Structure 1
Amino acid sequence: MVESGMMPKMAETVAERQGYASSRRRMLRGLGTLALGGLLAACQVVPKTQGPPPPPPENPDAIEPGLPTDTDRHRVALLVPETGTNADVGTAIANATTLALLDTKADKLRITTYDTALGAAEAARQAVADGNKLILGPLLSEDVKAVAPIARAAKVPILSFSNDTGVAGNGVFIMGFVPGQSIERVVAYARSKGQQRFGALIPKNLYGTRATGAFRDAVSKAGGTLVAIETYDRSATALSGAARRLANAGDMDAVLIADVGGNAIRAVPVIRSTGDKQILGTELWNTDASLGGSAAMRGAWFASVSDGLYGQLATKYRSRYGKAPYRLASLGYDSVLLTVRIARDWKPGTRFPVNRLMAADGFGGIDGIFRFDNRGIAQRALEVSQVGAGGFRVVDPAPTKW
């Protein structure tokens, strides 16, 4: 929910005012193992601009400036862009946190949304001043950098939706899909199927820089041979030229294309012009339906989080909000599942038990199981899928336990 007239913009996302006392929503099928049952639905929207009902006269200190005092609920801040360029993504994440609260019947959490597009640092200051003990978000790595010192000084941990490993650590945990993990997974799978000599086609951008390092490490770790890496600017001419150079670079069994599906479709015919090669992709292909329509892409492999439960979340999201969610919305949903699990042994008003984030058995959610390493980076169990005429087929399922 969003309200206007506040800097930063805020909205209570505890749940909606009407309809949920008589219509209890079940959790998405397959999440029962999270043991989230037993929490009662007692949720309502409390618009920040209106404030809560006044306290009894004999308790004049029950309301602080800003948000009302909570003695039986955990106060959690959600920092996402609700306006500006990334508003649609931020809103999808916020909506997904609402769905998670409703699905888990979580009456112990009070989640307040702060708009980072109005200034991430100011949003963090307000969140801390309002007494929030945990921050979900921000989405962008530059916003994490702005928020981290403020949260750290207040001893408030951050569960960010960024995939930039450079901002992790010292109280910052990142839940985003790290490209290096996808690359390591698909290269290891290819190596297990007999591919020995590897090449890669990688764009010249930040994602490409990370992918290059991850690819080198993955080939070495898998015991393969790195033949060539070609990079390109994001233009059709540069892409074709790099693909042609790679095709002529020597014998290769497999080629990684660390780019979106559209560019892979354009590059593959050129890459295969000098001989058939197994095509590999990254998590960027996960939601690209156009891949199945390209004959050249048939048989390509890519690694990503599982989409089984996400499909159910997307259906529920469309039913409630009238449109499809962004794929990153699952991060918002899973951040709430994680918080609900920890909240069972977390006393309201006290500091968030950050050591619980390092649980060896990790956490589960829409995107499968994950756990944080000692740097605060979510390590995810990934599946390998194959592109076919009818879409994607899982050829190597994601592990279900560590």
Structure 2
Amino acid sequence: MAEAPAYRQPRSSFRIWAMVGLSLLLANCTVVPKGKPGPVAPPPPVEKPDSGTLPSDQARHRVALLVPLTGSNAAVGQSIANAATMALIDTGNKSVRMTTYDTALGAAAAATRALADGNRLFLGPLLSEDAVAIAAAARKAGVPVISYSNDAAVAGNGLFVMGFSPAQSIDRVVHYAKGKGIKRFAALVPSGVYGRNASTAIIRSVESADANLVAMKSYERNAKSLQRAVADLGRSQQGYEGVLIADNARLAISAVPLIRRMSNQQARVLGTELWAAEPSALTSPVLAGAWFASVSDARYRTLATAYRRQFGKAPFRLASLGYDSMLLVVKIARDWKMGERFPADRLRDEDGFVGVDGAFRFGPNGVAQRALEVDEANPAGVRNVSPAPSNFTEQ
């Protein structure tokens, strides 16, 4: 585990800061030195779970950050941890102590240690199976969990899901396309959990948009299976005007030429939130004109610049979840009485919260609802075609 530093709270309130926007804060925060970047700061040290006890601290709320710090997802987990630490610094926090626990050593064991250390809130874990593994113990202890997973199926009963939901991005892009005159949809979905969730989302979104889903085919992630699925789309008796590829942008680059050659030369290509994580792929001429929905990158780019200056490398896109979850905690901590349980009811604020990824709030099912924009892929650079609402009253 590793301790995050605490800093003095600025006089201006967090609510005022959130309204004026992230870019102003980051331009003046201590982690962004002006002029040439200083020496690269090493990541926070990580202690083994059995390495002694935490320092006594009666003046700050204990919050556990549960992310992988070793193993195949270590770089993603460290990026989230670094960004969460930046949020503590940027807000001048003095009421929250964050301790990081390595879930790669076992999520249940990490949660057990975090509970023994007196933490009253869990941020993370990253993976849905890890969230399931820690849910029962956290629930028994009255400790809410704000997971970074995007699997809505694990949400509820004290477990909140903060990850980017494929269902919301699909619904946003389908309704946008319907508003542009597309009434008949087709879809390509990969096998696996993401594909199954996407399939359900596509069916519901097309239905709620009062449009028609004329064909949907699944595939394994290999060339022969993808080609077979595209060919099956072409055999649909009804023509389609839009085709949603529920996979990453690089897979879409392989699929679109097949669609044009074997199935439909004119259909508008649609994507999901996965595309936002691959900006270099979105300049491929193959995807020119394709639409996809995601959170806005405007504030994230400012965060990424500050992160690179502090740590000497670019963050993973999911780092914003670490930053925003800590902003959320610091805000709520203003009314969190010392020694009491984390006030989980505050997470259900209907007005929502503002962070790096724009406006978000937790719905009745515990899944983060987000204000999404629609972007168009283009060789000259991604172009915004439908801005994200700035709050939930605009939706």
Q: TM bucket by the smaller chain?
A: 0.7 to 0.9
* Structure 2 letter corresponding to 1:310: Y
Instruction: Give 1:210-229 correspondences, 5 Å limit.
Output: 210-229=197-216
Q: Which amino acid aligns with 1:400?
A: S
Residues 1:14 and 2:2 aligned together: no
Give the TM-score normalised by structure 1.
0.86
How much identity, in percent, do the aligned residues show? 55
Tell me the secondary structure at the aligned position of residue 240 of structure 1. helix
| Match 2:128 to one of 141, 147, 157 | 141
In structure 1, the residue matched to 2:40 is: none
Q: CA deviation at 1:166?
A: 1.2
Aligned residue identity for 1:316: A
Q: Partner residue of 1:90?
A: 77
Query: Which position in structure 2 is the counterpart of 1:318?
Result: 308
Residue aligning to 1:253: 241
**CA drift at 1:32:** 4.5
Which of 151, 155, 176 in structure 1 is aligned with 2:138?
Answer: 151
Distance in 2 of aligned mates of 1:399 and 1:112: 34
Matched, 1:272 2:260: yes
1:166 aligns with 2:153: yes
Greater mean alpha carbon deviation, residues 275-284 or residues 236-245: 236-245
Give aligned pairs, total.
364
Given that 1:292 and 1:390 are in contact with CA atoms closer than 8 Å, whether structure 2 keeps it comes out as no
Post-superposition offset of 1:71: 2.1
Opposite residue 163 of structure 1, the aligned amino acid is N
Q: What SS does the corresponding residue of 1:68 show, helix, strand or coil?
A: coil
String of CA shifts for 1:366-396, please: whole Å, max 9, x gaps: 0011111111100111000001111211100
1:272/1:153 CA distance change after superposition, 3 Å = same
Q: How far does residue 350 in structure 1 lie from its aligned partner after superposition?
A: 1.1
> Is 1:339 aligned with 2:329?
yes
TM-score relative to the length of structure 2: 0.87
Equivalent in the alignment of 1:181: 168
- Give the conservation status (yes or no) of the 8 Å contact 1:184–1:215: yes
- Aligned partner of 2:360 in structure 1 is 370
Secondary structure of 1:191's counterpart equals: helix
CA distance in 2, matches of 1:32, 1:103: 15
3-state DSSP of counterpart to 1:327: coil
- The answer to whether structure 1 residue 123 and structure 2 residue 110 are counterparts is yes
Q: Unpaired runs of 5+ in structure 2?
A: 9-13, 31-42
Given that 1:291 and 1:391 are in contact with CA atoms closer than 8 Å, whether structure 2 keeps it comes out as no
Residue pair 1:92, 1:329 contacting (<8 A) in 2 also: yes
Counterparts of 1:236 and 1:292 in 2: how far apart (Å)?
21
Distance apart, 1:293 and its partner CA: 3.6
- Looking at structure 1, the residues matched to 44 and 205 of structure 2 have their Cα atoms a distance apart, in angstroms, of 49
Compared CA separation, residues 152 and 401, structure 1 to 2 (3 A): same
CA distance 1:30–1:264, change in 2 (3 Å):
farther
CA RMSD, 1 decimal: 2.4
In the alignment, the residues of structure 2 paired with residue 166 and residue 75 of structure 1 have an alpha-carbon distance, to the nearest angstrom, of 28
